[in-house]
Each structure stands twice: as C-alpha cells, then as structure tokens.
Amino acid sequence: VVTKSTVPVGTGDEVERIIREANPAAEVGVASNPEFLREGAAIGDFKRPDRIVIGAEDARAADVMREVYRPLYLNAAPIIVTGRRTAELTKYAANAFLATKITFINEIADLCEKVGANVQEVARGIGLDNRIGSKFLHAGPGYGGSCFPKDTLALVKTAQDYATPIRIVETVVSVNDQRKRAMARKVVTAAGGSVRGKTVALLGLTFKPDTDDMRDAPSLSIIAGLQDGGAKVVAYDPEGLEQARPLLTGVSYAEDAYSCASGADVLVIVTEWSAFRALDLPRLKGLMNAPVLVDLRNVYTPAEAEKHGFAYTGVGVA
C-alpha cells in the first residue's frame, strides 16, 4: 500500500495499524512515496524527477518500490530510501522551503522599491550562487494553489502539536496572506489613490499559468480589495474563467485581453500567461480610458511600457 499524497506525519503508521487490526495475518507493506509534480508540468516531472523519495519500514516494500521506478533508471533519478515518517516530512519541508523563498524575494522586492534597487537583478545576483539557486526567486503577488498554502499550514499545525513551533514558516504564512491584499493597495495607489467608480481590468485569475486552478489564487484577494474600494472589475484568463465564476461576485468577464482592457482606467497583469507576454501595447493604450499598467509579474520593463505611453508600476522596481 503506497501513499502518494501529501499527508500528515504518521499517516503511514496509522494506515498500517488499521490494516493489521483488520487482518493480522495480512502480508502487507505500507510505503510513503510523495510526489513532487508541478501543475502544468506533471508528466515531465514524473518522467524526469529530481529525486524519488521512498519511505518504508521493511526491505520488501522498498524493493517493490524500486522495481516500480525501474523504467526511469535511464534518467538516473536518485532514489532516496528513508523511514515512512521521514518521507512524509520531506514533502512538507520541501514545499515550505519553496514558499519561504517566494516570500523572501517578495519582501526584498518591497525593500527594492524603497531604496531604488531592482529586485529582478537582485534575484539574479543571489540566484547564481549555487547554494541558493535561481528557482522560486520571482517576485510577485504571493503564492497560491493547491499545495503551498495547505502544506505550510499543515507543517505549522504538526509542529505545534509536537510543541516545536516553526516560527519561520508561521511568518511565511502570515506575510503571504498580507501580501495579496497589499497588491490591491498597490493598484489603488497606481490609480491615483482611489479606484471608486473606476474600471480595473485584470489579466490572469489562476494562481499561475498553464492551469485552471483558482485555489488560493492571489487574484481572489486582489479583486476583493479592489471591490471594497469601489472599483468595477473586469477580468480575463485563458483557462480559468469557468473555475473563477463560482468564486467571484460582481466581476465582468471578457473574451480576450483587449476587450478586457477596453474602457479600463487601470490594467493589472496578475498571472504571467504566455499570451500576456507579447501584448500590443499601443493597441491597449488606445482602448483604455487611462494608460495605467500595474504589472504584478514584471512581464514588461518600465522602459518598454513607458515608451508606449503607459504609467507603469511593477514589483520591486523603483
């Protein structure tokens, strides 16, 4: 019996206890084999994993799992065999660390805006250090999705249950929640200090591109903040509109980026879909009431946007 899901530490022990209680004579091994798949890239991640983690308490279960992964041998993915609880905790620790990297660079971005630095160049400067690495150092509106929010909270709860609070992760959770609302305030500031009676166009609703997942997406908090400020919100997402509709009220939906921007006082890039990386900026400006662009993913450079007549606000750029 193999658990692939991200589950609380000790779940494998409980599964084995239930099986033994139901059938003491059962010849069964219980293993933990947490998956490290990204939404939108799951097949590639499965075929070419960075590592394979197997948590088992007996050699037979570990051998069976090695045989399961034998077809991937040519890809030379390292197989790490540990105890079940270690494997279960490894998954939580990995996601919490990545969430921490995201939150760290987001706070550095805030500092960059105040001191006149560029967060993308800071991220490159530290990311080229092999001890740090360049992944998950892209400043933005905060993390969302099905994994990082629930896994950081679950790790915090586990640590509290065992009287070993993980204060760094607790802070990451708090800072990330606050950041999403702070992005709404950034839009309000770019709009001149008030969005009451204004139309704000949002490009991107899903928590990241190449998925329709709206779970804990930053757009939800941003839209709530803008609506609280009296804005009319129009939104477009290449894949996420069907998932977004039940979660949002009072939002109008557009068929493409240009119809979304038509008549808008502010245009906000929330999700970095590829379709938004090559927008016709002069056309957008001609459609809008006011050429104000808030780029929460730093898809465009300030110079590029300003060349086409936009008042540009990015993340971590002075």
Residue 105 has pLDDT above 80, yes or no: yes
Give the span between the Cα atoms of 238 and 213, in whole angstroms: 12
What pLDDT shows up at residue 45?
Answer: 87
Residue 318 pLDDT grade (very low, low, confident, very high; cuts 50, 70, 90) = confident
Q: Catalytic residue among 61, 89, 119, 147, which?
A: 147
pLDDT classification of 86: cutoffs 50, 70, 90? very high
**Is residue 241 part of an annotated ligand binding site?**
no
> 182-313: what fold?
Rossmann fold (3.40.50)
Q: Which residue has the tokens 């709206």?
A: 214
| CATH class of the region 2-82 | alpha beta
112 is catalytic: no
- Does the annotation flag 215 for ligand binding? yes
Is pLDDT at 224 greater than 90 in this prediction? yes
Residues 6 or more apart whose CB falls under 8 angstroms from that of 300 comprise: 269, 281, 293, 312, 314
Q: Which fold has domain 90-173?
A: N-(1-d-carboxylethyl)-l-norvaline Dehydrogenase; domain 2 (1.10.1040)
User: How much is the average pLDDT of 167-186?
Assistant: 97
Residue 173 has pLDDT above 90, yes or no: yes
82 in a labelled binding site: no
Residue 255 binned pLDDT confidence (cut-offs 50, 70, 90): very high
* pLDDT(73) > 80: no
Which tokens hold the place of 238? 């290449």
- The answer to whether 39 is annotated as binding is yes
Buried b or exposed e, range 100-125, using 16+ CB within 10 angstroms: bbbbbbbbbbeebbeeebbbbebbee
- pTM of the entire predicted model: 0.92
**Which pLDDT tens digit goes with each residue over 10-41?**
999 999 999 999 999 999 999 999 999 888 88
- Range list for CATH 1.10.1040.10 in the chain: 90-173
The mean pLDDT value for 91-111 works out to 98
Answer yes or no: is pLDDT of 75 > 80. no
Query: For position 131, what pLDDT does the model report?
Result: 97
**pLDDT reading at 272 higher than 80:** yes
Average pLDDT in the 187-191 region? 98
From-to residues of CATH 3.40.50.720 in the chain? 2-82, 182-313
